[in-house]
Structure 1
Amino acid sequence: MTAFDVSERRIWDGRAESYARTVARLCAHTVPALLDAAGAGHGTRLLDVGCGSGSVTLAAVARGAVVRAVDAEPGMVAATHRAAPGVEVRTGSLPQLPYPDGEFDAVVANFVLNHVGRPLDALVELRRITRPGGRVVVTIWQAPGGSGQALIGRAAEAAGLTRPGWLATVDEEHNFPRTPDGLKVLLTTAGLRDVRSESLSWEHHADPEDWWAGPAAGVAAIGQLVNSRGPEGVAAAKREYDVLCKEFASEGGELALPHLALLAQGRV
């Protein structure tokens, strides 16, 4: 594993429940488009890679697909198993998954390439386990992203918080532009054909306290930044966050947070 993979395991260890209560709602927005691109329907043999709390798995099952799921974090595996008890859910991490060549009609990974240190190798693995003519579909966060994506980071910066030294980034030789063209090139380089990539935009609506709860609980890299100076730092960032939230206030007191993601698909 790369240093980035090691830090990702540390970030997500034991945080399945906090993720399910917070960020999972945001990540679920792209699920219909993801499954449409995968052609998920009755009888489709589909693998949900990085299944998290099970939103993709449940939606694919509802479409009649024959679904299996896998995640690197045991807590996420347990969460998806509870949500979809009839689905086989296994523990496994990219770029080596516990499935034979050509096992699936479609393989989907919703906001998973963001969390692997070798994205190209991960895509090659997704291609390997997809049958000839089958589809691989992925989503990632676009960079630069929407203004709502930067809210917590702005609050942390205003509070004087700095990124923990152990929190690694993707090595330059394995990184790629988080743009429609950058993701398209990555899928093409991985050997996929008929590749298409597009940007998705939406406003995520959330209660301000609910939106803060994820980072405060240490969810994702931004949560590690918020908690980098202990309770005092969390409190300082929260004060800045409360001020910045006014920029995104909507009727009824919720936040309306613009987000940008990328969806790309290709055939084997």
Structure 2
Amino acid sequence: MTNAEAYDRGFAHLSSHTVGPLLASARQSRAPRVLDVGCGTGVVTAAALALGAEVTAVDCDPVMLRLIARRHPYAAIRQAALPDLPFGDEQFDCVAGNFVINHVPDAAASLRELRRVLRPAGTLALTWWKADEMTATSVFTEAIAAARVPYDPPARPFAAHATPPSFTALLEGAGFREAAVEAVRWRHQVDLAAWWTDVVEAGGPRFGMIGGQPPEIVERIRAEYLRLAAPYAGEGFPVCAYLARATR
């Protein structure tokens, strides 16, 4: 289970950069009913509430949901995971998912489910990382390798759909219209020591193994991380995400 407080300090801060573009359609259409799917600690929920939307926030992690419920009592909170959502057909004007589609077990089935809960002409917006331009996390993988620690990273089943043409085809196959994907790039400026702490303490399937190592191994990986991350201390880590938009 993810450490929600560490995740909020680290990954949620990193992913907050895409919230504005993600909610652009909801802002333009003044969508009254927004579903934040894979809500995490609530960066999208907070922004949608600020737009005046009626927000339903969904996540599979009960710790995340308890945190978001404390922070945003006016949002409706539900525990669920794609591709199965506990809602009737055509319930929402906008569905927003910030870095969740890349974690689901079946992307095609998940898109069909998201289309089902959208009203006609409702909008969908989803983001995922461009893996080969994700320096803020790849530096951890490189540090583990440089420290000569055995590491078997989890599989990335979403990789088969991660390019704009492939994901556009997936959206169209699920019945969406006006599908388009764009790249969003920025620099993640962060204190290097704090970023290490937040990523390691957040746990999760990719880097949770670091915190489970003996202290001397953890320190060896940390030393390699600080060496590899040093060139990004000033301008920040270059990162890139894809943003997909479509209409039901």
Q: Normalised by the size of structure 2, how large is the TM-score?
A: 0.93
Q: What are the within-5 Å matches in structure 2 for residues 25-44 of structure 1?
A: 25-39=13-27, 42=30, 44=32
Q: Output the CA distance in 1 between the equivalents of 2:99 and 2:211.
A: 23
For the 8 Å contact 2:143–2:225, the answer to whether it is kept is yes
1:261 counterpart residue number: 241
Cα distance between partner residues in 1 of 2:196 and 2:206: 11
Report the CA distance between 1:228 and its aligned residue.
5.4
Q: Over residues 141-166 of structure 1, what are the superposed CA-to-partner deviations in whole Å (9 max), with x where a residue is unaligned?
A: 113224344211111111122335xx
> Where do 5+ consecutive residues of structure 1 fail to align?
1-12
User: Whole-Å Cα distance in 2 between the matches of residues 156 and 168 of structure 1?
Assistant: 14
1:179 pairs with one of 148, 151, 163? 163
Percent of pairs with identical residues:
35
Please say which of residues 193-202 and 224-233 is displaced more in the overlay: 224-233
2: CA distance between counterparts of 1:188 and 1:161? 42
Q: Find the partner of 2:178 among 194, 203, 207.
A: 194
Return the alpha-carbon distance in structure 2 between the equivalents of residues 87 and 44 of structure 1. Answer: 13
Q: Residue 65 of structure 1 aligns with which residue?
A: 53
Q: CA deviation at 1:226?
A: 2.4
The one-character-per-residue Cα deviations of 1:112-168 (angstroms, maximum 9, x if unpaired) are 01211111111111111001110111000113224344211111111122335xx64
Q: 1:238-262: CA deviations, max 9, x gaps?
A: 0101111221121xxxx60100100
Aligned to 1:236: 220
The alignment yields a C-alpha RMSD, in angstroms, of 1.9
Deviation, 1:41, is 5.9
Q: For 1:21-49, what per-residue CA distance to the aligned partner results, in whole angstroms no more than 9, with x for missing partners?
A: 21110011100000003446645210000
Q: 1:183 to 1:231 in 2, by over 3 A?
A: farther
Change (3 A) 1:40 1:169: farther
Residue 131 of structure 1 corresponds to 119
Q: Is the 8 A contact 2:36 2:55 kept in 1?
A: yes
* Equivalent-residue separation in structure 1 for 2:154 and 2:35 (angstroms): 28
1:114–1:140 contact (8 Å) kept in structure 2: yes
**Counterpart residue identity of residue 227, structure 1:** G
Unmatched 5+ stretches in structure 2: none
Are 1:119 and 2:107 an aligned pair?
yes
Question: Displacement, 1:197?
Answer: 0.4
Provide the residue aligned with 2:79 in structure 1.
91
Counterparts of 2:212 and 2:155 in 1: how far apart (Å)?
16
TM-score of the two chains, using structure 1 as the length reference: 0.86
Cα deviation code 1:9-32 (max 9, x no counterpart): xxxx14212211211100111000
Structure 2 counterpart SS, 1:24: helix
